[in-house]
A and B are shown apart, each in its own frame.
Chain A
């Protein structure tokens, strides 16, 4: 293929130059690259279109009566309908997730990463957690209905906010465990060894050295889990989220509402989207979506930026 014979210097150079520069245009390569860029662009464009559509569709409500919208109750009249009860419902579900899923999830992760020896039991637990993370959310809804609504109805009061909150907390529990465990695994062993070296017990080492180091990663994971929890509708529907008008309207921090019927942001969106009236299924749903997206996307962005900043700092050490 390469034939550089013993010819006078000038001609050899010309031959070589022709071979090295006379490439055929790499059409396939360019086309492939463009196709890939289009895929990426499509994914990003969809995000933009989604946000813009929702914003545009919901604009009449958002610009016209935002304050009322946020503070009004559900109503059969589109002009009076608002999301205040849904906001409260989502707020209290968030509280349940923080109170239930965070401690139990982080505690489980600490046990699995710091205390447990490799045994068949720990392998089972590990496998179980990974599988639970992949179970469809509606199956958790069944669990919620059968256990938290029916069986434990003395504690929860039946189809109540509490039952919904516990159900969603259980739903995101595996995610909290997995991300917290990863954050703990990323802590260098040297830090633990230094702690043990001065004669601390395991808990003291964890509390004073490991947890602070892993805190940003754990925080990121929990924020992502919370954002996920706030967007879940299916399990809440099964646990008895009300569709249509909701009677009760307690104050924001009245914990009594945990034992009452409820709605939440995702369920009101699901409800309104299916109503026949155009105002409901159009601008009101879109406006509610914008409000929910603001919270959820902000939380996601904050968590991801935080994680990236801490990863960069770590590697710069």
Chain B
């Protein structure tokens, strides 16, 4: 036993072995964390190189034609962007009412026991892969729903694809909205009830306005997800690698994502002066920028919610 007064600094330090192990472990984890930044940089770098090739070599005239057909040097951006727009609008028209409605019900009306059962089911719905929804859109939504309502619709059409994307996005809208509404303090609701308001007034005039930032964030995230969706469109609205410009949802169409996917299937065959391959990267960069912008806005909006209370 050490006598009092003969304490040395080294008695108060961890053994070198333990210290070293702690440092090594810390270093390893640090490198891992840095990896995410590396990946982001890689994405941008890998996109920019070929995208620049496209931008520098493309003839501006080819960007405004009547079709998107890279093999034939026709890069009408309108076609793919309008395609994305139509699919996204249809998707939102499906997802927002159903998603918000389900969220308000779960947050304000459902009994706790009911909510405990239904919310997990909704989360499971979120796990359905997009290829499944693509198949569902092609083999069910299109023939049995769209073509029944609009007899002149093609089997492959953007409306069915849009509905499929909408279904895909419902759980996201419901989940984020419900969280936003649940976080409204109960005392706000009580204040409204105490003045003789009915549940519909409390839900729509007090809770929803108080949760509005979260709801807007949910909307933006859903739009971002819908724009970035590939497989549903590829399967259900597919036109192969090219499409004429159209703003009719009943026609087949091509979105930015589908353009990229179909382009990749034959990339080995074409090279050289052909700009088909680099166009893939250009569209990818565009898509990355759009979704990044939307996600940043959504993040900023959510931050503002925290400040209100």
| Residues of A that sit less than 8 Å from B by CB | 26, 28-29, 32-33, 35-40, 42-44, 46-47, 49-50, 53-54, 57, 103-105, 107-108, 110-112, 115-116, 124-125, 127-132, 134-143, 145-147, 170, 173-174, 177, 199, 201-204, 224, 227-228, 230-234, 237-238, 243, 266, 269-270, 273-274, 281-282, 285-286, 289, 292-293, 296-297, 299-301, 304-305, 308
Contact pick for A233, options B101, B129, B291, CB 8 Å: B129
A12 to B136, CA, bound (A): 65
Q: Quick check: B264 and A131 within 8 Å, CB to CB?
A: no
Contact with A along B1-41 (1 / 0, CB 8 A): 00000000000001000110110011011101111110110
* B105 interface neighbour in A40, A228, A274, Cβ under 8 Å: A40
- Of the candidates B34, B120, B124, B140, the one having the most CB atoms from chain A within 10 angstroms of its own CB is B124
Q: How far is the CA of A301 from the CA of B133 in the complex (A)?
A: 19
Q: Are B37 and A125 in contact (CB under 8 A)?
A: yes
Which chain A residue has the least Cβ–Cβ distance from B47?
A142
* Total chain B interface residues with beta-carbon distance under 8 A: 92
| B109 located at the interface, meaning its Cβ lies under 8 Å from any Cβ of chain A in the complex | yes
Are the C-beta atoms of B101 and A35 separated by less than 8 Å? yes
Beta-carbon nearest neighbor of A47 in chain B: B125
**Which of B74-82, B224-232, B245-253 lines the interface with chain A?**
B224-232
Closest approach, in angstroms, between the C-beta of A156 and any C-beta of chain B?
A: 15
Minimum distance in angstroms from A259 CB to a CB of chain B: 18
Q: How far is the CB of A107 from chain B (nearest CB, A)?
A: 4
Stretch of B60-68, B186-194, B206-214, B280-288 that contacts chain A = B280-288
Known: A50-B136, A139-B287. A237 touches B296 (CB 8 A): no
Judging by beta carbons under 8 Å apart, are B18 and A201 in contact?
yes
Closest to A145 in B: B264
5 closest Cβ pairs, A-B complex: A39-B101, A136-B228, A231-B129, A111-B29, A146-B46
Residue contact B199 to A29, C-beta cutoff 8 Å: yes
Contact B109 A270 (CB under 8 A): no
Whether B230 contacts A138 by the Cβ 8 Å rule is yes
Say yes or no: A111-B132 contact (C-beta < 8 A), given A29-B200, A135-B228: no
Instruction: Give per-residue flags for B222-245: 1 if the beta carbon is below 8 A from chain A beta carbons, else 0.
Output: 001101111100110010000000
Q: Are A270 and B43 in contact (CB under 8 A)?
A: no
Interface residues of B (CB under 8 A from A): 14, 18-19, 21-22, 25-26, 28-30, 32-37, 39-40, 42-43, 46-47, 49-50, 97-102, 104-106, 109, 116, 118, 120-136, 138-140, 167, 170-171, 174, 198-200, 203-204, 221, 224-225, 227-231, 234-235, 238, 257, 260-261, 264-265, 280-281, 284, 287-288, 291-292, 294-296, 299
Known interface pairs A135-B291, A138-B261, A269-B135; A233-B281 also in contact (CB < 8 Å): no
